[in-house]
Amino acid sequence: MRSWADICADKSLQDLPYKIETNRFDQIVMSPANNWHSDYQSEIAFLLRKLMPDGRALSEVAVQTTDGVKVPDAAWISLERFRPYRRASYLPVAPEVCVEVVSPGNRKYEIQGKMQLYFAQGAQEVWLCDDQGNMEFFLHDSEGPVAKSRLCPDFPLKIGWE
């Protein structure tokens, strides 16, 4: 088994057009990238930084979970939570907001599993963005989606330029 730091240092895994995560057995799991996914991911991170300037908006941050290292597409983390781990290979706690841009090929149980893992690591909210830019907001203490984010109530319900 390889550690996350070893995986990050592996020169053969540099510059891959995939997002890399691990499962609970430290096996590498890769997801291919595409343009619309990247566009939504960067727009969400931009809006998080703009609307929540008192923390950091992150893209593809590594979060250690009980099922390996997971990588939300975008995230927002308070400075207090981020400061001790800024130079670490991964976060041992989840950012307060974790965002997944859901591809049509993602299975519902996979996304629900990731949401549970982020909440178990301390996320307060998990947001989902579908392939049309529609946002859904989930809170750690609520069942099902809610109308808007508690931490960032001004975040739009739909993103994109279409």
Residue whose C-alpha is closest to residue 90's, from 22, 159, 15 = 22
Interval 75-91: pLDDT, tens: 999 999 999 999 999 99
Most confident of 20-29, 42-51, 98-107, 152-161: 42-51
User: Which residues touch 94 (CB under 8 Å, ≥6 apart)?
Assistant: 63, 65, 72, 75, 118, 119, 121, 122, 123
CA 162 to the chain's CA centroid: 24
Burial grade of 51 (CB within 10 A; 0-12, 13-18, 19 or more): middle
1 confidence band (pLDDT: 50, 70, 90): very low
103 confidence band (pLDDT: 50, 70, 90): confident
**Top-tier CATH class for 33-139:** alpha beta
SS3 1: coil
Residue 74 has pLDDT above 80, yes or no: yes
125 confidence band (pLDDT: 50, 70, 90): very high
Contact yes or no for 101/73 (Cβ under 8 A):
yes
> What's the whole-number mean pLDDT along residues 49-70?
94
What pLDDT score was predicted for residue 138?
98
Interval 27-52: pLDDT, tens: 555 555 677 878 999 999 999 999 99
What is the model's pTM? 0.82
